[in-house]
Amino acid sequence: MKIIGDKISEIIVIEPKVFGDERGYFLETFQLERYRGIGIVSPFVQDNISRSRRGVLRGLHYQLKYPQGKLITVIRGKIFDVVVDIRRGSPTFGSWNGFILNDDNHVQLYIPSGFAHGFCVLSEFADIHYKCTDYYRPGDEFGVCWNDPELAIEWPNLGFDVILSEKDNNNKMLSAIPLEFLPLL
């Protein structure tokens, strides 16, 4: 396993060892002691899988009272994954970073609680596996607008129209979200 640093220090980018031959490949996507050793110490309580088609953009989501840390793995396809620091008092507040995750590079992304997260599907479809440190609670979910000009996220040149849910289409710009609706550092 190889750990790659990130400009937002709490984000962990992981390149797991992949053992491949003419039959296919094998890799561990989680091993408690090894992942604790790189700083992922919160217990995971829920696993999710989502499937989305090309052009679907999900996010930028976060939970406030019950924040979730997430370990993201793309099982099939290719996505551009974005993490935004929205923690009040953080020296990197409003900073973002984007990562290409796919079933060829097998890169995993650990996002601690307190960050907004989203992705756009670049392949025909993508299956994404999330390990979460808290339960999903629909009433506690909030969102930041994916194309907030103040964040200036450099989404890849998509070459297609972005497909948003109604909920994500109504997300607010970060500066329009009252402070009490943003997580603390």
Does the annotation count 61 as an active-site position? yes
Beta strand residue intervals within 54-143, DSSP E: 57-63, 70-76, 78-85, 96-102, 108-111, 115-121, 125-132, 141-143
Q: Which two tokens stand for residue 26?
A: 């094998």
Q: CA–CA distance from 115 to each of 20, 34, 87 (Å)? A: 34, 23, 7
Instruction: Indicate the residue type of 162.
Output: V
Instruction: Report the C-alpha gap between 138 and 59 in whole angstroms.
Output: 14
Partner residues linked to 115 by β-bridges: 85
DSSP letter (8 states) at residue 140 = G
Name the catalytic one among 35, 62, 110, 130.
130
What is the rounded distance in angstroms from the CA atom of residue 124 to the CA atom of residue 117?
21
- Phi and psi angles of residue 111, each rounded to the nearest 5 degrees, phi first: -115, 110
Q: Is 117 a catalytic residue?
A: no
Q: Which of 35, 61, 62, 110 is catalytic?
A: 61
* 3-state secondary structure (DSSP) of residue 52: strand
Write down the residue that tokens 């849910």 correspond to.
165
| Catalytic machinery residues | 61, 130
